[in-house]
Structure 1
Amino acid sequence: MGNLAAALDHPSRVARPAVRRGWLEDGPGPDDRRGRDEFVEVPWDDVLDRLAAELDRVRTRHGNQAIFGGSYGWASAGRFHHAQSQLHRFLNTIGGFTGSRNTYSNGTSSVLLPHVVGDMHAVLRQASTWPTIAEHTELIVAFGGVPEKNVFVTPGGVTVHGTPGHLARLRARVALVSPLRDDLPSTVDARWYPVRPATDTALMLALAHTLVVEGLHDREFLARYCVGFPEFERYLRDKDPEWAAGITGIPAADIVALAREMAANRTLITVTWSLQRTEHGEQPVWAGIALAAMLGQIGLPGGGFGHGYGSMGDVGDTGPELRVPYLPQGVNPVDEFIPVARIADLLLHPGRKYDYNGEVRRYPDTRLVYWAGGNPFHHHQDLNRLRRAFTRPDTIVVHEPHWTATARHADVVLPATTALEREDLGSGRRDTHLIAMHRIAPPAGEARDDYTIFAALAARLGVAEAFTEGRSPREWLEHLYRSWREEPTFDRFWADGELRLPPGREHHTLFADFRADPVAHPLRTPSGRIEITSATVAGFGYPDCPGHPVWLPPSESGPLWLIANQPHTRLHSQLDAGDVSQAGKVAGRERLRLNPADAAARGITTGDVVRVFNTRGACLAGAVLDDALRPGVVQLPTGAWFDPVEDHPTGPLCAHGNPNVLTADIPSSRLSQGCAGQHATVDVERFTGPAPRVRALHPPLRKGSR
Structure 2
Amino acid sequence: RHANGEQTARAICMLPILTGNVGIKGGNSGDREASFGIDWPTIPVGENRVKTSIPCFLWTKAIENHKEFTALNSGLREKKRLQVPIKFLWCFASNALINQHSDINHTHEILQNESKCEMIVLIDNIMSSSAKYADILLPGTSSFEERDLSYQGYAVEMGALFIREKAIEPMGECLTLFDICAGIARQMGKEKQFTHGMNHDQWVEYMYHQCRKIKPRLPKDFSKALEQGFYKWPRDGKPFTGLASFRKNPEKYPLATPSGKIEIFSSLLWKMSQTWELPEGDSIQALPEYLPTWGTPGKKDAALYPLQLVGHHYKQRTHSTYGNNEWLKEASPQSLWINPMDAESRGIVHGDLVKVFNDIGTTLVRAKVTPRIMPGVLSLPQGAWYNPDQKGIDQGGCINILTSQRPSPIAKGNPQHTNLVQVVKEKQNNV
Q: TM-score with structure 1 length normalisation?
A: 0.54
Q: CA deviation at 1:357?
A: 5.9
Q: What's 2:373 paired with?
A: 629
Distance change in 2, residues 1:517/1:284 (3 Å): same
Which letter maps to 2:172?
G
Distance change in 2, residues 1:689/1:327 (3 Å): farther
8 Å Cα contact 1:620-1:653 kept in structure 2 = yes
Q: What's 2:351 paired with?
A: 607
8 Å Cα contact 1:591-1:622 kept in structure 2 = yes
Are 2:264 and 1:537 aligned? no
Q: CA deviation at 1:635?
A: 0.8
In the TM superposition, 1:26-37 aligns within 5 A as none
In the TM superposition, 1:305-384 aligns within 5 A as 305-308=29-32, 315-317=33-35, 320-354=36-70, 355=72, 361-363=80-82, 364-376=84-96, 377-384=98-105
Partners in 2 of 1:435 and 1:322 — Cα distance? 13
Which letter maps to 1:497?
G
Secondary structure in structure 2 of the residue aligned to 1:640? coil
In the TM superposition, 1:14-413 aligns within 5 A as 277-308=1-32, 315-317=33-35, 320-354=36-70, 355=72, 361-363=80-82, 364-376=84-96, 377-390=98-111, 391=113, 392-413=116-137
Secondary structure in structure 2 of the residue aligned to 1:370? strand
Q: What's 2:191 paired with?
A: 464
Post-superposition Cα deviations, 1:359-394, rounded to whole Å, max 9, x if no partner, equal 674333222111112221232111111112223211
Partners in 2 of 1:548 and 1:280 — Cα distance? 13
8 Å Cα contact 1:596-1:625 kept in structure 2 = yes
8 Å Cα contact 1:282-1:545 kept in structure 2 = no
Partners in 1 of 2:388 and 2:76 — Cα distance? 38
Distance change in 2, residues 1:336/1:581 (3 Å): farther
Partners in 2 of 1:567 and 1:632 — Cα distance? 21
Which letter maps to 2:130?
T
8 Å Cα contact 1:603-1:686 kept in structure 2 = yes
Q: CA deviation at 1:502?
A: 5.0
Distance change in 2, residues 1:361/1:583 (3 Å): farther
8 Å Cα contact 2:124-2:138 kept in structure 1 = yes
Distance change in 2, residues 1:441/1:640 (3 Å): farther
Secondary structure in structure 2 of the residue aligned to 1:432? strand
Q: What's 1:427 paired with?
A: 151
8 Å Cα contact 2:64-2:110 kept in structure 1 = yes
Partners in 2 of 1:653 and 1:345 — Cα distance? 24
Q: CA deviation at 1:441?
A: 3.7
Are 2:289 and 1:550 aligned? yes
Secondary structure in structure 1 of the residue aligned to 2:30? strand
Secondary structure in structure 2 of the residue aligned to 1:684? strand
Distance change in 2, residues 1:561/1:504 (3 Å): farther
Which letter maps to 1:530?
I
8 Å Cα contact 1:564-1:679 kept in structure 2 = no
Partners in 2 of 1:328 and 1:518 — Cα distance? 38
Q: Greater RCO between the two (CA within 8 Å, min separation 6)?
A: 1
Partners in 1 of 2:60 and 2:422 — Cα distance? 25
Q: What's 1:440 paired with?
A: 167
Post-superposition Cα deviations, 1:449-480, rounded to whole Å, max 9, x if no partner, equal 11111111211111111111121211111100
2:205 equivalent among 451, 475, 478: 478
Q: CA deviation at 1:444?
A: 4.0
Which letter maps to 2:219?
P
Secondary structure in structure 1 of the residue aligned to 2:209? helix
Partners in 2 of 1:300 and 1:603 — Cα distance? 53
Q: What's 1:241 paired with?
A: none
Q: What's 1:517 paired with?
A: 249
Secondary structure in structure 2 of the residue aligned to 1:374? coil
Unmatched runs of 5 consecutive residues or more in structure 2: 277-281, 296-301
Q: CA deviation at 1:509?
A: 3.2
Secondary structure in structure 2 of the residue aligned to 1:500? strand
386-395 or 431-440, larger mean C-alpha shift: 431-440
Unmatched runs of 5 consecutive residues or more in structure 1: 1-276, 309-314, 691-706
Which letter maps to 1:389?
I
Distance change in 2, residues 1:442/1:636 (3 Å): farther
